Amino acid sequence: MRNAFISGVGGHVPPRVVTNDDLVADYGVETSDEWIQKRTGIQSRRFAEAGVGNADLALPAAQKAIAQAGIKAADLDMIVYATLSPDHCFPGSGVLLAEKLGLCEGAGASFTPAMDIRNQCSGFVYGLGTASSMVKSGACEHVLVVGSEVHSAALDLSGRGRTVSSLFGDGAGAAVVSATDEDRGIQYWKCGADGRYAHVLAQKIWDISKRPFIPQDGDGNGIVAPEMMFANMDGRTVFRHAVERMCFAVISACTASGITGDDVDLYLFHQANMRINQYVAKQLGVPEHKLIHNIDRYGNTTAATIPLLMAEAVETGRLKPGMTVACVAFGSGFTWGSALVRW
């Protein structure tokens, strides 16, 4: 039977560390280290320097995943690129990464197709499910799934935006999903969405229903109000739905696969808020030794959180062949998803 397994993973974060105290001292954000840690568990995050785009950050992560998979970039049959902070409105960042990987020129140009998906914090799980289906169907042998974010360019780093700007950081993660006849790999995946809450966590940088879609001054320059330019969130509503949907996603995955939570060796929760993850773990009865966190060091890197966790777990030896891994995410949309992987 043809299965789809994760043959390689890679992660990359920019070198610049921004602590909670740095947000106060360097940016004048009206907050404190105590306030942020108490509510989110975040101590620091990474910010990319000016001039570094989304695909730039994704490139090292992708190269590491490809190398670990033991293939060349030209062997990829597809790129699935998840982000909420693309380099441009269009084209998508997937084609930019393909060009940076050298897939578009020279004698060995493969012109690998690139698919961009916009499912925010759930993007990587959506991408994992898409890649798994493509591989299991026989349409692809190797699919590169990327989650990459450069949030720092679009954060309201002021007292006005402190409840959101303190949450996010920059980073990228990638995984190669490959075909195998072995009894391993992505055993189950399922995603969901509830558009009734689309406004609860959103960045409405433009409204395409308006004419023009961005207000203009007399010289034709765009004018974007802060409430449209920056992300807005109803934190209490997000917390409540995140806990409910993440718990349900894990239970559904285990039930559909005929296992219990005790059979899962490692849980990779999307790193949005340490308090959410701790509450979910408590509700599910997941012991601390089965959890991995990096939100304290990186903040919420949205689509990159789960592949970054994977890459770190492999590098540190926490994730070993034969383990059963549960991945679960929840985010804007609302969207959510879970995947069970036999490593």
Spot the catalytic one: 12, 270, 277, 294.
Answer: 270
The catalytic position among 20, 121, 142, 151 is 121
Question: Is residue 121 flagged as an active site residue?
Answer: yes
SS3 for 90-143 is CCCHHHHHHHHCCCCCCCCCCCCCEEEECCHHHHHHHHHHHHHHHHHCCCCCEE
Active site annotation includes 270 = yes
Strand segments (E) across the chain: 3-12, 17-19, 44-46, 78-82, 114-117, 142-149, 171-180, 185-193, 201-202, 232-233, 266-269, 324-331, 335-342
d(CA 172, CA 307): 8
Please say if 191 is a catalytic residue. Answer: no
Among candidate residues 20, 119, 277, 300, the one labeled active-site is 300
The answer to whether residues 323 and 264 touch, using CB atoms and an 8 Å cutoff, is: no
CB atoms near residue 289 (< 10 Å): 8
Give the tokens for residue 217. 């001054």
- Cα 72 to its chain centre, rounded Å, is 24
Q: Is 4 in contact with 136 (CB distance < 8 Å)? A: yes
Catalytic residues: 121, 270, 300
